[in-house]
Amino acid sequence: MATQQKALLVPAKFADFVVGSKSIPKPGPGELLVKIRSTSLNPADWKIHKYGLFIEEFPAVLGLDVAGDVEEVGEGVTTFVKGDRVFAQGQYKPDWATFQQYAKTNAATTSKIPQNFSYDDVATLPVALSAAYAGLYGSKPRGAAFDAPVSASAVGKYVNTPLVVLGGSSSVGRYVIQLAKYSGFYPIITTSSLKHTDDLKSLGAAHVIDRNASVISEVRKLTDKPILIVYDAISNADTQQAGIDVLATGGKLVTVQPPSVKAEGKEIIHVFGSVSLYPELLTSLYGKDVFGFLGRGVLKPGHFEIIGGLAAIPEGLNRLQNNQVSNSKLVAHPQD
């Protein structure tokens, strides 16, 4: 096996991306080396690059969604063999990020790909799914602490409990809707461009509100029950305020961006879908549960657009930054 690979590098803080060469890592105990077939782009990638966030070691590699083939198995790993098709959530570390041809994953938080799904399908999942899952089922103060639907008693448990999703057609919003449906929440009310109405209803939304309408007035037309949970999958200042406005006293607002609002008697939960912050919850999700969720149709991967190889990623990130992508994930193929 070669010792060098192609990677999309950030040579220094704020520097332009370049396609270059870096070493292929060796998996340690409990780890896998994955040959990356597909990786998707996330808004966090352009924000970290543009604003110089989090990363201090350069040259850096970005990217957090990995789908590919097990190339090498680390010591002590018995659940995977070379050639297994897998997907996982990456990390912003040179050997673990996904804008390269090979990366390491932890075997405990890696899932096999069900037979009827492609690399591109599952490459759209990890970051968005982690945020949706942790926001709903993570322990306080980093999650709303609902029971995850991984046992018969928890499936459908929250029947007749309304849930509002702000930004249902976003990558995170789509998985919130699907998970909430499996947990029994009803009615699930979401905001979106109305052109996505049929799609969102197919995922489990009962009602789709125009994203430019007054959330509180529209929700009141749809249910007279108190709204005790709002998941804000957009989380700008306007959507956070809308979430607070519609939320009943004692309710919970989950945000994917740092909170910019306050409300007495209402809880605001900022979720960051990282395995390190929810080790038990997300290890169970990727190590056991997500394979079954996909196989049973509980989760349907999002729409995607293939943009090309590593060299196409910077333009794709520009499109994300300029809000030129809607109801879809951009997927790159590092081996091209």
C-alpha 72/C-alpha 2 separation (Å) is: 13
Euclidean distance between CA atoms 248 and 67, whole angstroms: 40
What pLDDT is attached to residue 1? 76
Query: What integer pLDDT is reported at residue 56 of this predicted model?
Result: 84
Q: What is the DSSP letter of 257?
A: S
Which CATH architecture is the domain 128-270 placed in? 3-Layer(aba) Sandwich (3.40)
> Fold identical between 4-125+301-332 and 128-270?
no
Cα-Cα-Cα-Cα dihedral sign, residues 302, 305, 310, 312: negative
Q: Is the pLDDT of residue 307 over 90?
A: yes
| Model confidence band, residue 2 (pLDDT cutoffs 50, 70, 90) | confident
**Tell me: the pLDDT tens digits for 211-228?**
999 999 999 999 999 999
Mean pLDDT of the chain: 96
- Architecture of the domain spanning 4-125+301-332: Alpha-Beta Complex (3.90)
CA pair distance 85, 70, nearest whole angstrom: 7
Half-sphere exposure of 334 (CA within 13 A, CB side): 33
Give the pLDDT confidence of 75-116 residue by residue, as tens digits. 999 999 999 999 999 999 999 999 999 999 999 999 999 999
Map out the domains of the chain as residue ranges: 4-125+301-332, 128-270
Contact 205, 177 (CB under 8 A): yes
